[in-house]
A and B are shown apart, each in its own frame.
Chain A
Amino acid sequence: MLKKVGLVALLASLLSVVVATTAWGSAKAPANAGAVAAKSVKCGTKVTIGVAYPETGPAATLGTPQWDWANFAKKTWNKSHKLKLAFVRGDTQLAGNNPQAVQVAHAFASNGKILAVSGPAGSQEMEDTASVWKGANLGPVSGSETRVALTRALPGTPRETTPGYFFRTVPNDGQQGDNVATFIHKKLKKTNVRIIDDEEAYSQGLSLQVKNDLQKVGVTVTTDHISQQNPDYNSVIAAIPGNTQLVYIPWQVPAMAQQFFTQLRANGDHQIVMGSDGTDDPSTFKGAGSYVSGFPVQTNAPALKSFKKAHGGDPETFGLPTYTSVMVNATALQMACNAGHGKTTRAAVRKDVAKVKLSKAVSLLGFPVVFLKGNHGKFQGNGDMGGTAAFGIYKIQPNGSYSRVG
């Protein structure tokens, strides 16, 4: 008797769960991905951008500034435009959990409100989600993916995204690496270089590019690796061959670059240290005599000053391209909504992203933003920034300030 009652109770509770969740389910956006991708969305007064960045995981130190800058962009835009921005954020947990990026991509793809995407942060995340974005008719604008193959086919590696479905507001590894190698060889005239990467995809990409470029012109290059999670550099420093003149550290965390510099000097070594754009942070990386790649940002631009004030005096610029990417998306949305008289689709927004032109004052990167339509130079392709977009090379002065030298 008890068994029968139990069975009935089980079925009843199952049924109630089914009914309740059906009600919840059918309240959401229905149908398949194709319908969502082609849907026409009313602009109204608010448009939604999906922001994908690593909120948790070991790379959270990099994600948080990106989110801060994205929010700053939203505030700045909303102050002066009638069409307001709203964000849906996706936590991609870069370097801790690659599948998370795929989950975020699927979630964004199915969210009918999202018309444009800023992010994701890591190149390998883009490689894995390119097909999802394409199927969803979205063209993400990333502020930190630097792998060359994302926009340009190279011998041995085909292009990894479809043209028109990916843009980036940051110069790629080929451009930066080439720049750095030329500077080291021609300007600094060094003949013996050691490259230490931090075992992340960004670092490995840059390291490879610089190594190949330097070896082609006859510079001796040795390499080493240290995990991004391990700031004990003493033994890596001890392993540096005595005749090394310059150590290139294409890392993503300025604090670690500073620590490397400190430990190097404390060990009595005198090699010059050169960092990449990931270490560009005047408030943290202050090793005098070192070099750094960075955006030619005007540090006294009013927007930069107000960001600094809102963040306790820390003007870190790693997240700056995310600001630019939000501005790109917002401009494209504005263009698409105006053209469609209050209604637009993802495809229209995507096409407008390719047409966006931002002035120097708006982009904050130190150069105007315009996207390439085809291949250009040695490393650039459709989706890269054209024009004068490039990193500058800075030298750190004894008082900690950065001054441009290349």
Chain B
Amino acid sequence: MHHLLVFNIIDQIRTLGWPGFWSLLRNGIVSGSLLALIALGYTMVYGILQLLNFAHGDIYMVGAFIGYGVLQAFGGAEMASFPIVPLIIIMFAVAMVGSGVLGVAIERVAYKPLRNAPRIAPLISALGVLFFLESSVQLLTNSAHVLYEGVYLGGNYPSTFGPLLNSVFTVDGIPFTTVDTLVVLAAVALMVMLVWLVYRTRFGKAMRAVAFDREAAAMMGIDVDRVISMTFFIGSVLAGAAGVMYGLYIGDTSFTLGFQYGLLAFTAAVVGGIGSIPGAMLGGLLVGLFQNFATGYVGGQWSDIVVFGILIGFLIIRPNGILGSKAIQKV
């Protein structure tokens, strides 16, 4: 039975050929960029607090919904010929700020009191926040799916973001659309800004210091609470931006988004080495590529298992992730 599967894969690769390859590569890069943005939030919080913030995926989901709210305020997804660029900028701005504030609020309420509690306490608290957020959004949206892109292509009804789906350039017949390039460019820009912030500014230095040794940093006069809050803020801002990008790219969102994507982004952070910023970016890209290639070549039902299998195998061989640093055990 197993050799049949391998033959199927080879067959599929040959059938899809180069156009298929470019298609899958494009998909992998775009969804990988989204995953990288979310994974960065996970990794930064882990680096500073050694906390796996399971609620982070929900912040991403809330960002997507805030963007949708802004869209609705301006008239919805079916307006004809509305200036897209200012609309998108406003959606990004509001969603990023909103998610950032939410992230800081969560940190203050659910994690700060638990700084000195046993490791499992903030983990359970994060799970509680996850349930709370997801159910709250479910309550507020009445469990419905919401559409960003409205209706489209091939019909004669208006669509706000229709122009986004025009192709910018093609490779071997496979179109790379405006939204694809927008997502990748925006993700790269945000990551560049983050790297600049963390490695080239004084505040970044403070962040790295707190991640390295919280007590020593406090003793050197760094306001640890402020640094931690800012870390959450930055991570959540990235997640909020990713949420809006997801809405524009996929076009549909619902309250279950955070859970699914959160798990995948978490995987990405771990594979790249949790606690390492370049690791999160690399991990996000890898997971995105793996997932899309597996879906394309192996088939929808096996792709998840393949991805998980590769990642488990990975972790067993390199337990600290690709770019992770070996944790020193103290007695």
Contacts and interface: CB of A to CB of B under 8 A. Distances in A.
A232 interface: yes
Contact of A235 (B147, B154, B296, B301): B296
Contact of B175 (A242, A267, A289): A267
Contact of B20 (A224, A239, A398): A239
B175 A266 contact: yes
A232 B31 contact: yes
Given A61-B143, A63-B143, A235 B27 contact: yes
B300 A266 contact: no
Nearest to B153: A265
B309 interface: no
A229 interface: yes
B12 A61 contact: no
B154 A64 contact: no
Interface residues of A, number: 44
Contacts, number: 134
A400 B138 contact: no
Given A230-B260, A400-B151, A235 B295 contact: yes
Nearest to B170: A268
Contacts of B292: 234-235, 238
A226 interface: yes
Contacts of A239: 12, 16, 20, 295-297, 299-300
Interface in A29-87: 56, 58, 60-61, 63-64
B300 A255 contact: no
Nearest to B20: A238
A200 interface: no
B125 interface: no
Nearest to A257: B252
Contacts of B291: 235
B196 interface: no
A39 B147 CA distance: 49
Given A235-B295, A239-B296, A255 B154 contact: no
A67 B297 CA distance: 41
Contact of B300 (A226, A229, A231, A242): A226
Interface string B271-302: 00000000000000000000111011101110
Contact of B144 (A61, A199, A241): A61
Contact of B147 (A224, A242, A258): A258
B145 interface: yes
B153 A259 contact: no
B252 A258 contact: yes
B252 A255 contact: yes
Contacts of A267: 23, 174-175
Contact of A262 (B144, B145, B152, B293): B152
A241 B31 CA distance: 22
Given A256-B252, A267-B23, A56 B138 contact: yes
Given A56-B138, A225-B301, A398 B156 contact: yes
Interface string B152-177: 11111100000001010000011101
A86 to B, nearest CB: 23
A400 B250 CA distance: 21
A64 B24 contact: no
Contacts of B116: none
B152 A265 contact: yes
B144 A64 contact: yes
Interface in B94-126: none
| 8 nearest A-B pairs in the assembled complex, by CB-CB distance | A60-B143, A238-B23, A255-B145, A225-B300, A235-B295, A288-B155, A234-B27, A235-B292
8 contacts: A64-B142, A235-B23, A238-B16, A238-B27, A266-B153, A268-B174, A400-B151, A400-B155
Given A231-B253, A236-B295, 17 more contacts: A60-B143, A61-B254, A64-B143, A199-B301, A224-B300, A225-B299, A229-B259, A230-B260, A234-B23, A239-B299, A255-B254, A258-B151, A262-B251, A286-B151, A398-B154, A398-B156, A400-B155
